[in-house]
Amino acid sequence: MAKKPRNNANSTPVRTVDSAEFLGQNRDQHAPTSPKADIASTNATGTEFANLSKILEELQKFRTDLNALRSDFTGFRSELSSSLKSCCLRVDKVEDRMETLEKRMESFGEADIEEISKLKNTISTLENQINDREQQSLSNDIEISGIPEGSGENVIHIATLIASKLGMTLEERDVVHAYRKGTKREGKPSRPRTISVRFVRQNVRDKFLKNARVRRRTTTENMNLPGEPTIFYVNERLTKMNQTLFQKAREIRKQKNWKYIWTHNGHVLARKEEGKAVHRISNLDAVDKTFGL
């Protein structure tokens, strides 16, 4: 087949090609157009590589953070699960106790309820007896409020001055002790503390109270006490329980328009108006019954 002539238009004259021209054409086809274009292409490739590297680093960081978050969430879910279990156990215990109490309440009969009522009455009776004995121990005591307080004062001497102001003679030997109740407050001026006085005999105390009731709204004028003259008040000393009863009775008296609330020998007494019956208030239940609450 190699000996046969090729049908390739042999009529075309043969032209020799200059090697320099041939090399120039190949160089023009494969070489870059200019040095600047070559540099720009290189720079573009480097920038894209740098951008890809940064993206890869960010992806790696994100993957690390995601793994850490997944680990934290797993721990939180474990803690939450244990907390819920603990709460459920506590709720179950409370429900069991409630069921036990309900069953015990259902098992209570009339005899048990009556027994509880008796116990309450017994406790109330004992409280009243203790309060009466405590009040009896204060049968020689009075309280004086509204007397200005000074530094280095002699409280027993003040008591004798007050007695003289009320029209009676009181000697220091008639007083067991006298003192200001509570702790002295430093700084801003405040209401003076109450004076508590205990007498040797109850008849001296009764006379003191009687003269104070006759000479109500007497002031400290001409008693050489600090400050401006003020009105002072004398009352028998009450136990804490009787003080509470007296204060509550006075509050309700204003609401119910009762005229008289007073104390006598440690007893809290109330009368709606002149000519009506006198009621003794010995406990909180008596307050409600007296005023019809």
- Of 273 and 68, more confident: 273
Concatenating the DSSP letter of every residue in 68-118 gives HHHHHHHHHHHHHHHHHHHHHHHHHHHHHHHHHHHHHHHH--HHHHHHHHH
- State residue 138's pLDDT score: 93
Q: What are the structural domains, with CATH classification, of the chain? A: 144-236 (3.30.70), 240-291 (no CATH)
Q: Which residues contact 251 (CB under 8 A, 6 or more apart)?
A: none
pLDDT for 28 = 47
Per-residue pLDDT, averaged over 26-50, amounts to 56
Give 64-72 contacts, CB < 8 A, sequence gap 24+: none
The model's confidence at residue 31, banded by pLDDT at 50, 70 and 90, is very low
Query: Which of 44-53, 128-137, 193-202, 217-226 is predicted least confidently?
Result: 44-53
pLDDT score, position 239 = 93
Check residues 270 and 85 and name the one with the higher pLDDT: 270
Name the more confident of 211 and 288: 211
Q: State yes or no: pLDDT of 9 exceeds 60.
A: no
Long-range residue pairs from 213-218, CB within 8 A, at least 24 positions apart, any chain = 214/167, 215/165, 215/166, 215/167, 218/165, 218/166
**pLDDT reading at 34 higher than 60:** no
Mean pLDDT of all residues belonging to the chain: 81
Question: 30: pLDDT confidence band, cut at 50, 70 and 90?
Answer: very low
Q: What is the pLDDT of residues 192-248, one digit of tens each?
A: 899 999 999 999 999 999 999 999 889 999 888 888 899 999 999 999 999 999 999
Q: What average pLDDT does the segment 3-17 reach?
A: 56
Per-residue CA distances from 227 to 65, 189, 279 (Å): 76, 11, 41
How far, rounded to the nearest angstrom, does the alpha carbon of residue 43 sit from its chain's CA centroid? 71
Residues of the chain with pLDDT > 70, as a percent, come to 80
pTM: 0.58
Q: Which pLDDT score, from 0 to 100, does residue 140 have?
A: 94
> Taking residues 255-263, what's their average pLDDT?
90
Return the higher-pLDDT residue of 121 and 1.
Answer: 121
The tens digit of pLDDT for each residue in 68-116 reads 777 777 777 777 777 778 787 888 888 888 888 777 767 666 666 777 7
Q: Residue 197: what pLDDT?
A: 95
Question: What confidence score (pLDDT) does residue 80 get?
Answer: 75
The reported pLDDT for the residue numbered 159 is 94
Whether pLDDT at 50 is above 70: yes
Query: pLDDT value at position 165?
Result: 92
Q: What is the pLDDT of residue 187?
A: 59
List Cβ neighbours of 165 (8 Å cut-off, separation of 6 or more).
215, 218, 220, 223
Considering the chain, what percentage of its residues have pLDDT values greater than 90? 37
